[in-house]
Amino acid sequence: MTTANEAAWATIQQVSRRSGLSEPTLRYYEQIGLLGTVARDERSGHRRYDHATVERIDALACLRAAGVGVAEMRAYLRLLARGDEAAPQQRELYARHADRLSAQIEQLQLRLEYLRLKAQLWDARDRADGAAEQRAMARLRAVVERF
């Protein structure tokens, strides 16, 4: 007997935590045909995600994180079905979305700087520390320049 931890399958909660996709999202993806057939426990009807499905969800979750929508996920799955024959297209697809995500992360890092500086600004105001407030405002102006 095996526990879920070492088993050949995973529960929906485990897959949700791993992938960052919510449980409703995993059911939704299955319903619209992104996951193929997901095995079930015969008695309970609970989903049992096997290794291949989990790997597929890994890929979909990473694409989703890059802002890819359902339509292009289907395009990806069509390439996947063609195997090594579609290797150049797979390379292109992954590289393209990696580049987009990379640019997106850079933007987010700038926004993060902004949020941190705003926190510092209000902290300075809370402490009535005029000098610190001026420093935060100067750094904010520099960040905003790069928007």
Partner DNA sequence: TTGCTCCTCACGTCACGTGAGGTGGC
Residues contributing to the site for DNA (CB under 7 A):
11-14, 21-25, 27-28, 41, 43-47, 64, 69-71
Out of 36, 40, 51, 107, name the contact with a copy of itself by CB under 8 A: 107
Cβ-based nearer residue to a copy of itself, 40 or 112: 112
Q: How far is the CB of 50 from DNA (least distance, A)?
A: 14
Q: How far is the CB of 32 from DNA (least distance, A)?
A: 8
Token look-up 């949700």 returns 16
User: Is 51 among the residues that bind a copy of itself (CB under 8 A)?
Assistant: no
Q: Taking a C-beta distance cutoff of 8 angstroms, is the pair 101, 82 a contact? A: no
Cβ-based nearer residue to DNA, 44 or 126: 44
What is the dihedral angle through the alpha carbons of 105, 106, 110, 113, rounded to the nearest 10 degrees?
Answer: 70
For residue 9, list its beta bridge partners. 50
Q: Which partner in DNA, a copy of itself, none is near 12 (CB below 5 to 8 A by kind)?
A: DNA
Q: Which partner in a copy of itself, DNA, none is near 13 (CB below 5 to 8 A by kind)?
A: DNA
Reference 41, options 65, 7, 18; nearest CA is 7
**By CB neighbour count within 10 A (0-12 exposed, 13-18 middle, 19+ buried), where does 109 fall?**
exposed
